[in-house]
Structure 1
């Protein structure tokens, strides 16, 4: 009998550390793992770059060349999250695709730039104006310019252009102006052939443009990692309140001349990236008003503060 008990004890001892480790793993939140995040190389995504430098969360940044490619990667789950134009993400949610907005990409940071020969908005009549995507805050800002200056929509030809093409199109006279994410406005202003007509905050206070949007499968399968990622993202935004740090990040991330980036960063902020219900409700009004969406998702069905989620 003593031999049997001794034999059973010897067989059990090696198992105990494994059992303890398993029980310990059950009680600890799973915050490890890689978060795969899509972006376009614009100042609106700069917080992602700063987040990826954190030692407390692993982030793999995946660069895309266009919004449709990026949105497809997000909607199909090839990436966990993306810094993306909020209106197409809202449209995806409206169509039943599982995506959720968890933070702003930035605050302000959009500009209306026109050729040096354009004295005011009224001189856009009969000319061509470019935006990157019709489902965007750039389209809304363009409409606000028209409305503020009593310009009928039919009097300005609106086209879509990839942001990197806009400065050269302005310089060549192909377009008379554009509204776009940075640094493409600052490129024209710094180059001397474009001038600032409006900043976004003078047309639409607390405007929402890009958001950090996550695939819902990522939220379901790795909730603690998602929460940790969101927390580090907000910390990164607060760090970018320091202009010297922001400029250093922008030079590494965007590979543009320092004068261009310094000008660009005058027009954007990253310090408080929570999505407020009030600002989102104004966005809802504008996407309906300008025909961008007839049935956009409500704040409660599309926006989530996952840092507060228990």
Structure 2
């Protein structure tokens, strides 16, 4: 029932956005762009005092890095371990929704939460409670292409005439939730903290069962090999896309497009590829996050 309400809210936001002037689809808060259809200043102010719990399972990801995928896995893990049904494919903490915070407060632990917020904008209560943060990242080139399509397939965001128009905005961080590289640089500084686990989109594609086991170990959750296999089967991109109408309503077609690694090669010019290479080297060259992203494997011609 909760999931039905969530998909209905999404449909309302979708329909409202179709009649919203393009220049009103985005607003800026503390120097970062956000979609007006899903975020507002009141919600940002409310989450500053959000009552986090030590048992919360919090997923953090830059947009189009695998956040919906990781959230689905977390819900599967929680159900397997505690028989706790997801109350909804829960909107991100920064998304506005009627009575959301009252509902979250009433939810039993462990709660599965998520956000696209930059590290510096995650509400302080999550750090005070030492909530474990599962951080999902994806290589920057595939992230950029996926975000380009997300803009153009989503009535809640402005459209771009071409990939070449979108690329400079992505590189300048003039996109929703800000610069990919700003997010990456700050997370790299915190990777050795015991409350943070970073998983990559590419590693999940390569070994989903291994990634699920790593996530369970991080959260101290014990499930069987059989349960791991079942979660992995439901967590393939093909399965998620087929079920997206039930889980995400009209938004499913927007979220689940290809789920490939290497699709960037169909869009990038040589000059654009070199520009990202140089930016990556400047921001993440020789770093732990740079190594985890296997840039030379996934982002070279």
Larger relative strand fraction: 1
Q: Is this a same-fold pair by TM over 0.5?
A: no
TM-score by length of 1: 0.33
TM-score by length of 2: 0.34
Between structure 1 and structure 2, the one with the greater Rg is 1
